[in-house]
Amino acid sequence: MIPDFAPRLIAWQQRHGRHDLPWQASREPYAVWLSEIMLQQTQVDTVIPYYRRFLARFPDLAALAQGTEEEVLALWSGLGYYSRARNLHAAARRIRDQHGGRFPQDMAAIQALPGIGRSTAAAVAAFAFGQRQAILDGNVKRVLARVFAVEGWPGDKAVENRLWSLAESLVPEAGIQAYTQGLMDLGATLCTRGRPRCEACPFQDDCLANRQGRQKELPGARPRKAVPERAVAMLVLRRAGEVLLEKRPGSGIWGGLWSLPECPEGADPVQAARALGYQIQGEAGELPGFTHTFTHFRLFIRPWSLPVLAPPVLEQPGRVWLALDDLEGAALPTPVRRILEGLSG
């Protein structure tokens, strides 16, 4: 154990840590919570413009609770992991309905909100309310695993439990906000996955990974397994500068977003379009295919451009025609936006 771990980390953060991130300007719980949700599995530089646009539209919790899921998803479009957006919206409404519109301060109540796990709840409690809580996100796991030579893959439950015990033992009596930010900053700027800058680290002389030359070994790697691959054909049904979109189910990939109709890879796209009730007018054309990578699988997408006649009846619920010059505000998955921007460009 390093007796002065917390004071040394706090001193380093105050001198070398990040102090100009947009969410650091306020300790208001809503702003803190929003940033923590957006930063889950997403880099800071990617989050910043989304965070600013989101706050411009939903400046407080009441505004978010009053907004629609469609609006939330549109602002989230391109950020990925869309369940975060749906949970954020659901949590805002729960806070409005069950907590009088005030963000709860009790750890158990925070963690009970949709989309908030133990570490995120602790970060909100620490930054917004100054509570002594231990965090353990990906950056912190890497720092602790290296400094204290915790063996094994952090995703393993036994290893994670050891890291939680260690994280809790290090929480200081005072300075929790600078300490928590320091852990995040250390992992994000110095103790990085690929090229750690050990020479600038405040724990370079104590870090067991550095002393033993094991930075590449710690933390332990995820056990390797084959990544499943899937394939799908997407139908780009076009008429008069518009494309047909279908709203996806609330659960699953791209839940609640507007996407292109699909058919199995290898199926006849013309027949698939006709099965949807559309008459083809002109030649169907295959567009360039590409692979989109998710956390647990890779999806090969083969788009087909199909000019169609307008249907003689109103569209079914869950379908909409979108103008190709009106993509900016639409709640679209990244691959669908890529396809449509290629058409409009």
List active site positions: 36
Strands 290-293 and 262-264: unpaired
Q: What is the number of other CB atoms lying within 10 angstroms of the CB of residue 12? A: 19
CB 122 within 8 A of CB 107: yes
Token duo for residue 252: 């699953």
CB 341 within 8 A of CB 327: yes
Q: Closest Cα partner for 99 from 171, 157, 29?
A: 29
Cα separations (Å) of 74 from 77, 139, 256, 267? Answer: 5, 29, 10, 31
Backbone region of residue 197 per phi and psi (left: phi > 0; alpha: psi in -120 to 50; beta: other values): beta
Q: Closest Cα partner for 254 from 81, 114, 91?
A: 81
Residue 206 CA to residue 32 CA, distance in Å, equals: 32
CB 162 within 8 A of CB 181: no
Token duo for residue 340: 């449509």
Token duo for residue 271: 């027949």
**Cis status of the peptide bond prior to 219, with omega within 30 of 0:** yes
For 62, list phi and psi in degrees, rounded to 5.
Answer: -60, -40
Angle at 20 between CA 59 and CA 48, to 5 degrees: 50
Residue 37 CA to residue 32 CA, distance in Å, equals: 9
Strands 229-239 and 298-307: parallel
Residue 7 CA to residue 14 CA, distance in Å, equals: 11
